[in-house]
Amino acid sequence: MIGEIAAIAVAAILAITLHEAAHGFAARALGDDTAWRLGRVSLNPLRHVDPVGTLLVPGLLLVTQLATLGRVEAMFGWAKPVPVDIWRLRDPRWGMVLVAAAGPGINFALAFGFGLFAHVVTAADGVLPLVAADWLLRMAALSMLYNVILACFNLLPIPPLDGGRILVGLLPAPAARAVAGLERFGLLIVLGLIFLVPYAIPGFDPLGILMREVAFPVLRVIFTLSGHGGAV
């Protein structure tokens, strides 16, 4: 049980921390050093912790699922957003698109990297203790899963998710302003899609659809590309 919780925690922390750090690195490369000056371009997970989104909500989900189901079937949470001043970017419109895309991009890269890392662990058979090897393989598998889910979820075209900000940068100005205006309600929309819609419309689960139709197919592709035969 402790090993499983540790694997879940490490996989989730790496996925979220590097996602947020990637936004900051991209913004700095494109002209905005706001996050850099505030110390948010960091691989230190503590700098990206949101008390509610990173600790309370995932913690409650973890405890309740382990207590009731004996396993973890779904996790949800968020980190403290990295501050970006769009007007300090050299090209505000396309710069914001690239900054937003950097988060999901690093998650896809991490998923692929952990797929390769699993081969290294397997090749070390006989060198690593069996318990350690099993734990590393479990952590790698969870990391692949969490990174793909985090990337696909963040690419939903709803501001303030990354996909919403990418959409704002791609749309003509009038439509972009309309979509950007949804940002103040974005978190409520996302929470409604996850927790309210499945109860209001039986049989319609937006998060389940995202997992089945997008995240799992992407994960199968990454499994194949990293040499694991496409099995999830």
- The residues that are catalytic are 20
Structure tokens at 218: 């992407």
3-state secondary structure of 230: coil
Q: How far apart are CA 6 and CA 115, in angstroms?
A: 19
Give the N- to C-terminal CA distance of the chain in Å, as an integer.
Answer: 22
Structure tokens at 173: 């100005």
**Rg, C-alpha atoms of the chain:** 19
In this structure, are residues 84 and 76 in contact, taking their beta carbons and an 8 Å threshold?
no
Tell me the longest C-alpha to C-alpha distance in the chain.
62
- The Cα-based distances of 92 to 34, 87, 168 in angstroms read 14, 6, 11
Structure tokens at 187: 């978190």
Q: How far apart are CA 22 and CA 106, in angstroms?
A: 7
Alpha-helical segments (H) within the chain: 2-29, 34-37, 57-68, 92-123, 130-154, 162-170, 173-180, 183-191, 197-200, 206-210, 216-225
